[in-house]
């Protein structure tokens, strides 16, 4: 069984001027098929989520004691239940400093893997729905919302214990919707960024732009698509993008070509392993934007082909209008002309 230890807790607050309420389970849960199924679903959501943060524990264990709690549990000085309780109490202290109302169900577990153990923390929200009861009358039912993850953490325990300086062993998801709660979650872990995913993404895009500068339009578009697809596949596996493997993917006949080109760049440098944000990397293959009542999205290889951009006049000219759009335009014009008569 993949799950070694598992426990569910609850933390909530309904009034901004009141402290959070903890509901703690004393003994860890007996792991069954439903627990395994829930974990498989959450792990899949975690792996597919773009925009994750990668980092390490803060060295200030007095202010950020989570790493100390985990270390004691790792070395069997305290039980898994004690570790989870200490974390929940610390999380409550930080949540009490915020002014947000919430109801969260923390799921804390240890996973055994052939590649090394992992610790996960998921903060799940509730969702309400309707069901028919035994008398066939509508009734409200609450259940865990497993369609999205706003707050979650993965710790690669062997990497943590054997980490080289700057090597990330923490992977975190922190939603933007509840900023103060997200900050409390970050502080409860003592999380410190060790990788600037935004900078790594921009650097990769710069290198790819320079690499494809002298290619024809179709070849350049094909290379960018390959790079994007490979990075997405690595993200879904929960793995970084090795520069050498990306180089092989882009040109199997000359597998070292891109890696050597990237390393030779004087203006920008790519690390041997990259963790790009695939949401931003999508601009390699598709450009989009909206505002002032306009929404526009198109393949990047159409630039200066059927999509003509004039930087001086700040205008875009479309020379090949999609048939469905053209039909709507003609119908709209006919209706406008008819209404004017």
pLDDT tens per residue across span 238-265: 788 998 999 999 999 999 999 889 888 7
What is the spatial distance between Cα 216 and Cα 173, in angstroms, rounded to a whole number? 39
Domain boundary among 265, 284, 303: 284
Co-location of 265 and 118 in the same domain: no
Which of 64, 39, 65 shows the shortest CA–CA distance to 152?
39
What is the spatial distance between Cα 157 and Cα 109, in angstroms, rounded to a whole number? 12
Co-location of 264 and 125 in the same domain: no
Could you tell me the two tokens for 13? 């607050």
Domain boundary among 284, 300, 332: 284
pLDDT tens per residue across span 184-236: 999 999 999 888 888 888 889 989 988 988 888 788 889 999 999 999 888 88
What is the spatial distance between Cα 299 and Cα 285, in angstroms, rounded to a whole number? 6
Co-location of 107 and 167 in the same domain: yes
Cβ 155 vs Cβ 70: under 8 Å: yes
Phi-psi region of 162 (alpha: psi -120 to 50; beta: other; left: phi over 0): alpha
The parent domain of residue 309 ranges over: 287-340
What is the SS3 assignment for 327? helix
Co-location of 15 and 71 in the same domain: yes
Domain total in the chain? 3
Co-location of 93 and 178 in the same domain: yes
With 80 as the cut, is the pLDDT of residue 164 above it?
Answer: no
Co-location of 242 and 96 in the same domain: no
Could you tell me the two tokens for 41? 């679903």
From residue 245, give the alpha-carbon distance in Å to each of 10, 206, 227, 254. 43, 18, 10, 12
Rounded mean pLDDT, 65-90:
96
What is the spatial distance between Cα 270 and Cα 243, in angstroms, rounded to a whole number? 8
Residues whose CB is less than 8 angstroms from the CB of residue 335 and which lie 6 or more positions away in sequence, other chains included: none
What is the SS3 assignment for 313? coil
Co-location of 203 and 65 in the same domain: no
Co-location of 27 and 166 in the same domain: yes
Write the DSSP symbol of residue 182.
H
Co-location of 24 and 171 in the same domain: yes
What is the spatial distance between Cα 19 and Cα 12, in angstroms, rounded to a whole number? 9
pTM score > 0.85 for this model?
A: no
Co-location of 31 and 155 in the same domain: yes
| DSSP string over 28-95 | PPPP-HHHHHHHHHHHHHHHH-SS-EEEEE-S-TTT-THHHHHHHHHTTSS-HHHHHHHHHHHHHHHH
pLDDT tens per residue across span 299-341: 777 777 788 888 888 888 888 888 888 888 888 888 777 766 5
pLDDT tens per residue across span 148-163: 899 999 999 999 998 7
């Amino acid at each position: 069984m993949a799950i070694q230890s598992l426990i569910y807790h609850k933390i909530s607050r309904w009034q901004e001027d009141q402290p959070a309420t903890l509901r703690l389970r004393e003994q860890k849960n007996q792991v069954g098929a439903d627990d395994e199924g829930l974990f498989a679903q959450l792990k899949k959501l975690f792996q597919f989520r773009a925009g994750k943060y990668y980092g390490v524990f803060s060295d200030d264990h007095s202010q950020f004691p989570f790493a100390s709690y985990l270390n004691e549990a790792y070395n069997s000085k305290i039980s898994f239940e004690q570790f989870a309780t200490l974390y929940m109490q610390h999380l409550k202290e930080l949540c009490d400093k915020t002014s947000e109302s919430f109801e969260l169900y923390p799921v804390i577990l240890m996973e055994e893997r052939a590649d090394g153990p992992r610790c996960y923390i998921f903060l799940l929200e509730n969702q309400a729905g309707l069901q028919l009861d035994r008398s066939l009358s509508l009734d409200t039912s609450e259940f865990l919302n497993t369609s999205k993850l706003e707050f979650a953490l993965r710790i690669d325990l062997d990497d943590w214990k054997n980490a080289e300086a700057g090597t990330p062993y923490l992977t975190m998801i922190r939603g933007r919707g509840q900023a103060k709660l997200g900050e409390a979650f970050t502080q409860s872990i003592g999380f410190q960024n060790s990788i600037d995913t935004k900078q790594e993404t921009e650097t990769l895009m710069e290198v790819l732009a320079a690499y494809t500068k002298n290619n024809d339009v179709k070849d350049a578009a094909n290379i960018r698509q390959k790079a994007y697809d490979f990075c997405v596949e690595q993200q879904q596996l929960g793995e970084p993008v090795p520069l050498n493997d990306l180089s092989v993917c882009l040109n199997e006949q000359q597998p070292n070509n891109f890696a050597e080109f990237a390393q030779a760049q004087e203006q920008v440098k790519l690390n041997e392993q990259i963790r790009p944000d695939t949401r931003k990397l999508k601009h390699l293959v598709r450009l989009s934007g909206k505002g002032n009542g306009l929404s526009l999205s198109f393949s990047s290889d159409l630039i200066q082909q059927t999509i003509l951009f004039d930087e001086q006049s700040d205008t875009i000219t479309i020379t090949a209008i999609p048939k469905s759009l053209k039909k709507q335009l003609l119908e709209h014009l006919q209706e406008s002309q008819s209404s004017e008569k």
